[in-house]
Amino acid sequence: MTVLVAYNVSPHGEAAVRTALEEAASRDLPLHVLVLDPQPPGAPAPAELDALLAAAGAAPVVFSRDEQTEPADAILDAAEETGATLVVVGSRKRSSQGTFLMGTTTQRVLLDSPVPVLVVKDTYGA
């Protein structure tokens, strides 16, 4: 049982991590961070993520998706692999036409996740 957060280097990615840290602490569960920005194998976590985690005094498990895996698939796979009881994702504003034509990672995760999904908007930078 864990809290899984999908992170990318962006304001909504940082908001998702902040919220996931709070949720993991309140549920007394470990935090797993899935870095969505493709990283070379064995690369350290992005500096922005390290700073967020250090400020919170957290030491979660951090892993990255590979370039061939779509972000939504990576999130859903990671939720299953980690035994997540909650998935936290950040969301950015997108026009209804853009959502209709391209779909969204958030929408796929919401529809296909076997566990609850918490969608976070960036309110920290606004």
Q: What is the pLDDT of residue 72?
A: 94
Task: Taking residues 94-117, report their average pLDDT.
Answer: 76
d(CA 35, CA 41): 12
What phi, psi does 37 have (nearest 5°)? -70, 120
CATH architecture observed for domain 2-121: 3-Layer(aba) Sandwich (3.40)
Segments making up each domain of the chain, as ranges? 2-121
Q: Residue 82 has which token pair?
A: 């980690």
The answer to whether the beta carbons of residues 1 and 29 sit under 8 Å apart is yes
Would the pLDDT of 85 be above 90? yes
State what percent of residues in the chain have pLDDT above 90. 52
